[in-house]
Chains A and B, each alone.
Chain A
Amino acid sequence: MTTAGSVLAPTRAGAGAAGTTTAARPGQGFQHGGWFVAPFLALFSLFVIWPLLRGVYLSLTDANITGTGERFIGLDNYREALDDPLMWDALGHSAYFTLLVVPCIAVLAFLLAMLAHHIERGQWLWRLCFFVPFLLPSTVAGNLWQWLFNPGTGMVNHVFGLDTPWLTDASYAMLALVIETLWWTVGFSFLLYLAALQSIPAHLYEAAKLDGAGAWQRTIHITLPMLRTITGLVIALQILASLQVFDQAVVMMDFGPGPENSTRTFVQYTLEEGFTSYRVGYASAISIIFFVIIAAVALARMWLLRNRTEEAGR
């Protein structure tokens, strides 16, 4: 697998070389390539860049939902946000959810992929079972698990002989959300692992077998190292997705913030401030804060990965 660093390096060198050879015909590079990326750039600008810039501006105003009478108030919204316990709570819930979900998804997806990879008979059935939940819309998955977690009539309590108030008690609600998310989204990471497992050359295992390595040793010394890149990818994607958790939480909690606000996520709080409290300026400010946090996480991951790649290259 190539990393971002190794892809970028030759490209940069190539661009420099191209710059010298195309000096006589300036702009030709854009004429050829530019038109191909223009549709993407136009949409990206319209739906990402422009809203982002507009959001930054709105975060410095006291704009309301109706878009009338907004005034520039400087950094007031940001100052308020830093003192807002509800925002910190919401951030805490999103972070806690991420901490619970990400390792579980990585481990579970790996185990399921190993299972599906090694079982010879009816392999298609396993793949189907593990992947199909991912195809469900979040509302369907959320409603399904709302029924399953129902304390009186739900299957979860019935099967395990429990009496747990899953969705109505603050100490269980987040756990219920995590369980639902694992079931619903593990299929995607499972598929990534399965594809990676299938691409490990068989001769490595054969050589290890000849050297007397057992199944456990082959897993530890061949499979896991060969899957390191895909594990990094799974973890990165899951972190970014989990931090933005929203839909399953609101569906399972009947569009509320969960028992005692225990499952109100950051995205949900932003939505509430913008569309329930009509404070678009403030909602923009906290979404910019969230954007910065997520960007920092993504950059930190890239930086860590680059360091590791450089170490490996040494």
Chain B
Amino acid sequence: MGRPGLGRRQLLGAAGGLAVAAGFGFAGLGSGADALASTARTRVRYWNLFSGGDGSNMIAMLDAFRAAHPGIAVKDSTLQWGNPFYTKLAMAAAGNRAPDLGVMHIGRVAGFAPGRLLDAWDVDLLATYGLREADYTPALWQRGVIDGKLYALPLDVHVQLCFYRKDVLRKAGLLGADDRIVPITSVDDWFGVLKEARQATKKGLQTIGLWINDQNFQWWFFVAFYTQLGGTWFDDARTEVTFDTDKATQVLAFLRRHVSDGYADPAMGSVNAEQFINGAPFAWEGNWSVPVYSGAELEYGAIPLPPVFGTPATHAESHAFVLPHQSDRGGAADEAAHRLAAYVVTHARQWAAGGHIPAYLPTLSTPAYRRLSPQSEYASAMDHQANEPKVWFAGSTGILAQRVGPVVVSSTVGSARPDAAARRMRDELRTLLAMKNPMDGRTAAQGGTAA
């Protein structure tokens, strides 16, 4: 019949043999790769939360590190930003499967059980790789220090900015001789500017996009202006709420006025960036929008949030390197993690191009950085940071923002009166202050989070 002399059993046998052989083959490959990693090179496992422009900048910096340190293999994983990232990091650290290096927002470090889920940095080792405390502003360095040990090594400061379209403001006569927005030092100044700008704005566009319905952004703006008024949150012992409802009411009424006077439109939702690109004169956004607007080749500038209550202050958070807890931390991988973090911090010129203010002062003071536009216009924000309080429930997208952010939104959109919202905020702060940190069973007053 001309068929090959291969029976069904033979065929199955051959297939089975192939499968087994392939299994051995892959197993061999696997052990070979492991051997390569364990003997020939030091491997650093690094988890981060950078996507988009930040992600490609970070990858470029990692590639530069790999080229400079061929003996260290960096295995980087980018995970989803926000709470999913923190949950994975906490569980990995608790289950002793933590990566060698991780990234966190510095405001979240206090709530992340330093000493149990995070290991402290070896400051002397960092110094041998060229990174010292003196390379930071003292306040920023201290934000990473808990119980006298450094747990977070800041990479940058990211701030909320007031972006403005130069073409629109020029038409409205709101640009100074230096081609920058006229100085603003009071609430009246600011609404005067908005009024003029509105007249020069194309029809169908709002005057300013300020994320009216977003609990995080509204909370960040609140923190900025409340700090401008000199407002405080808690006493030093973390037992009393010192939140000033009068000041808070002032801030909430200020935010609300953007909507009630028709400068910002709640219906716009999250199209602020698109509106700005289309010609809206203002957008309040994080500095991470710089690559977006620069990519759109707009004629624009960016200043910190205007000091309408007198004292300059703009909301700031910070990406920081952390060492997730490993029961046997130490050795070559740990040293390589220190070396990698120090390298990225000290070579953050690339990072700064993405809009972030470098935490490393020698980079911040270089002429090359000072020439970056619009970065140079807001670099001063480093000295006027408005931070959330240093307590376990604070930090980017943390419990504080989750509980208090919606209250700010309710006032801004007009469904709650500013004074009532301020009182609700104080109540929420009281509740949170009495709450125990689930990670260590202690309240803010019981320590663990004080610097």
Would A259 and B213 be within 8 Å (CB), given that A152-B268, A165-B266, A168-B266 are in contact? yes
Distance between B392 CB and nearest chain A CB, rounded to angstroms:
10
9-residue interface stretch from B46-54, B371-379, B407-415, B443-451 = B407-415
Task: Give CA–CA (A275, B397) in the complex, Å.
Answer: 13
**56-76 of chain A: CB within 8 A of chain B:** 62-69, 71
Q: Is B271 located at the chain interface by the 8 A CB criterion?
A: yes
In the complex, chain B residues whose CB is within 8 Å of the CB of A278 = 87, 90, 438-439
Task: Give CA–CA (A252, B84) in the complex, Å.
Answer: 18
Count of chain A residues with a beta carbon within 8 Å of a chain B beta carbon: 35
Interchain CB contact under 8 A, B441 and A257:
no
Task: Tell which of A163, A257, A277 touches B267, judged by Cβ atoms closer than 8 Å.
Answer: A163
Task: Tell which of A261, A272, A280 touches B438, judged by Cβ atoms closer than 8 Å.
Answer: A280
Interchain CB contact under 8 A, A276 and B413:
no
Q: Is B365 located at the chain interface by the 8 A CB criterion?
A: no
Q: Is A260 located at the chain interface by the 8 A CB criterion?
A: yes
Would A277 and B87 be within 8 Å (CB), given that A259-B409, A260-B409 are in contact? no
Q: Is A267 located at the chain interface by the 8 A CB criterion?
A: no
Q: Is B91 located at the chain interface by the 8 A CB criterion?
A: yes
Q: Is B406 located at the chain interface by the 8 A CB criterion?
A: yes
**252-282 of chain A: CB within 8 A of chain B:** 254-257, 259-261, 272, 275-282
**157-206 of chain A: CB within 8 A of chain B:** 163-165, 167-170
Task: Give CA–CA (A164, B267) in the complex, Å.
Answer: 7
**117-138 of chain A: CB within 8 A of chain B:** none
Residue on B nearest A253 in the bound complex, by CB: B213
**252-272 of chain B: CB within 8 A of chain A:** 266-271
Task: Give CA–CA (A168, B212) in the complex, Å.
Answer: 9
Would A168 and B269 be within 8 Å (CB), given that A69-B441, A278-B439 are in contact? yes
Residue on A nearest B212 in the bound complex, by CB: A168
Distance between B258 CB and nearest chain A CB, rounded to angstroms:
15
Would A151 and B83 be within 8 Å (CB), given that A69-B441, A260-B415 are in contact? no
Task: Tell which of B93, B402, B438 touches A64, judged by Cβ atoms closer than 8 Å.
Answer: B438
Interchain CB contact under 8 A, A150 and B269:
yes
> Which bracket fits the contact residues of B?
20 to 34
- A-B contacts counted at CB < 8 A amount to 85
Distance between A128 CB and nearest chain B CB, rounded to angstroms:
33
Would A65 and B91 be within 8 Å (CB), given that A170-B415, A256-B215, A280-B438 are in contact? yes
**216-265 of chain B: CB within 8 A of chain A:** none
Distance between A300 CB and nearest chain B CB, rounded to angstroms:
33
Task: Tell which of B87, B267, B268, B269 touches A65, judged by Cβ atoms closer than 8 Å.
Answer: B87
**184-218 of chain B: CB within 8 A of chain A:** 212-215
Distance between B99 CB and nearest chain A CB, rounded to angstroms:
16
In the complex, chain B residues whose CB is within 8 Å of the CB of A169 = 266-267, 413
Q: Is B149 located at the chain interface by the 8 A CB criterion?
A: no
Distance between A102 CB and nearest chain B CB, rounded to angstroms:
28
- Residue of A64, A170, A254 with highest tally of chain B CB at under 10 A: A64
Task: Give CA–CA (A167, B268) in the complex, Å.
Answer: 10
In the complex, chain A residues whose CB is within 8 Å of the CB of B83 = 275-276
In the complex, chain B residues whose CB is within 8 Å of the CB of A67 = 94
Task: Give CA–CA (A66, B117) in the complex, Å.
Answer: 9
In the complex, chain A residues whose CB is within 8 Å of the CB of B438 = 62-65, 277-282
Interchain CB contact under 8 A, A277 and B415:
no
Interchain CB contact under 8 A, B436 and A275:
no
Interchain CB contact under 8 A, B269 and A151:
yes
In the complex, chain B residues whose CB is within 8 Å of the CB of A170 = 410, 413, 415
Distance between A165 CB and nearest chain B CB, rounded to angstroms:
4
Interchain CB contact under 8 A, B406 and A261:
yes
- Residue of A69, A168, A257, A280 with highest tally of chain B CB at under 10 A: A168
Task: Give CA–CA (A278, B399) in the complex, Å.
Answer: 10
Residue on A nearest B406 in the bound complex, by CB: A261
Distance between B90 CB and nearest chain A CB, rounded to angstroms:
6
Interchain CB contact under 8 A, B269 and A165:
yes
In the complex, chain A residues whose CB is within 8 Å of the CB of B117 = 66
Interchain CB contact under 8 A, B406 and A260:
yes
- Beyond A260-B415, A275-B83, 6 additional contacts (C-beta under 8 Å) are A65-B90, A66-B95, A67-B94, A260-B406, A260-B409, A277-B438
* CB-defined A-B contacts under 8 Å, sample of 10: A62-B441, A65-B94, A69-B441, A152-B267, A163-B267, A164-B267, A168-B267, A169-B413, A275-B83, A276-B83
Interface residues of B (CB under 8 A from A): 82-84, 87, 90-91, 93-95, 113, 116-117, 212-215, 266-271, 399, 402, 406, 409-410, 413, 415, 436, 438-441
Interface residues of A (CB under 8 A from B): 62-69, 71, 150-152, 163-165, 167-170, 254-257, 259-261, 272, 275-282
Give 8 nearest A-B pairs by CB, closest first: A66-B94, A165-B267, A64-B438, A151-B267, A168-B213, A278-B438, A276-B83, A168-B269
